[in-house]
Amino acid sequence: MTLKTPAWYRRRGYLHFDLPISLKKATNLVTNPSLVEKHAFFPFISYSVESKKIRKDKATGKVTVKSKERPIAYSSHVDSHIYAYYAEILSNKYERILKYFDLVDNVLAFRGLGKSNIDFAFEAFEQIKNMGSCSAVALDLSKFFDTVDHSLLKMNWANLLGEDKLPADHFNVFKSLTRHSKVDKLKLYEQFDISTNNPKNGRRRVCSIKGFRDVVRKNNLIVVNEDAKGIPQGSPISALLSNIYMLDFDVEMKRYMDIHGGRYYRYCDDMLFIVPTQIRDKVAGHAQREIRKLNLSINSDKTELRTFSLKGGLLRSDKTLQYLGFVFDGESIYIRSSSLARQSEKMKRGVRLAKNTMRKYNEIRKEKGLPERELYKRKLYSRYTHLGGRNFITYGLRAAKKMNSKTIKKQLKPLWRRFNEELDK
């Protein structure tokens, strides 16, 4: 008899300190609370993803590029199965709580709703249109995952289970995420002479248990979180825990919106309130007070207060509203200009890299007396044009169709021309 693969079980292809395990072994572990209670979790392997924000000053035309690093940490194979299984347990209970408090349409991220940012943004913009003259308040939390308070998280976790305190197995999972340890990926790979471009190269794991003790531990590569706040961003349970942490806030803001005839949406650390204009400034203040109760803070640099008014039968905003990668002015929807600029830069780098690679291999072929080959364009078309399956352009076209937006189609058109110009250089 073969076991049906459950949703929580997923084989991961990356290298870690342990080896992948079978469904049978994983099931025997995760479904046995006494084993989970005693389980020794490996450190996370961590790295940073750099994102660039490109802004253009409309007055001067000057373009500025600001880099931001987002820390990512991924757990070992066995640990990931435990996190995913416990996430499933908590998710089922969390969904029932959302239904009880009528929050199903307010909490948007990490819930498997079968929708994307396109749907969420479009629904919010349609809500503004339906309300007509109104205001929008967009708030963003500062360093959300890094500032999650451990004591509050533990209390919310226990409350969700209907317990006064966490059961021993849940507590061990909680402890592995709060007093978590990390190993920097680049330093780790350097110690074991692992290529970042081709890490596997015959390997099945980063190192043996002996190598972990003799190299990783002895060289002090493990960094332990000693703070009373912060959880790693990237584990199979972290996203759900962020929602559980925000539950009391969500309940209160939904209650506040219902009283004043507004709507509240939260996508992870992005919050949007659509409200009658007369309470616009009160909403931001109330949200600020409630956020402080969670020992979190709002990023004032990203706060947006926008007012929409009906003028001559048309809805217009005093300033465009940005939400989940889209921009809305009351009538038309756009993709953020910074996203388009970032895509253009990414495309140019990709085409240049492909050309340099082609030149390199053609030099080798020439030395061997072989004919030169032309640029391999298929992958480039797939990555950077509408001919691909899933990329920025096809995402934009899906948005344009869903939102019935001619402006988005107009924004995407020049990208095809720029792509072909880069190919022809």
CB distance 77 to 236 below 8 Å: no
Q: Calculate Rg over the CA atoms of the chain.
A: 25
Per-residue pLDDT averaged across 210-235, rounded? 95
Strands 263-267 and 222-224, bridge-based pairing: unpaired
Q: How much is the average pLDDT of 314-334?
A: 95
What's the pTM?
Answer: 0.89
Residue whose structure tokens are 């048309």:
314
Angstrom distances, CA of residue 51 to CA of 54, 70, 324: 10, 8, 16
341 has a pLDDT exceeding 80: yes
- Whether the pLDDT of residue 93 is over 60: the answer is yes
- Tens of pLDDT, residues 346-403: 999 999 999 999 899 888 888 888 888 888 889 999 999 999 889 999 999 999 999 9
Task: Give me 66's structure tokens.
Answer: 């600001």
Average pLDDT score, the chain: 93
Confidence at residue 55, expressed as pLDDT on a 0 to 100 scale = 61
> Does residue 1 surpass a pLDDT of 80?
no
- Does pLDDT of 161 surpass 70? yes
Compute the distance between CA of residue 136 and CA of residue 281 in angstroms, rounded to an integer.
10
* DSSP states along 85-106: HHHHHHHHHHHHHHHHTT-TTT
Place of tokens 């169709």: 401
- Alpha-helix runs per DSSP H in 71-229: 77-100, 117-131, 150-161, 168-178, 185-191, 209-211
β-bridge partners, 334: 327
Of 41-45, 116-120, 358-362, give the lowest mean pLDDT range: 358-362
Residue type, 100: Y
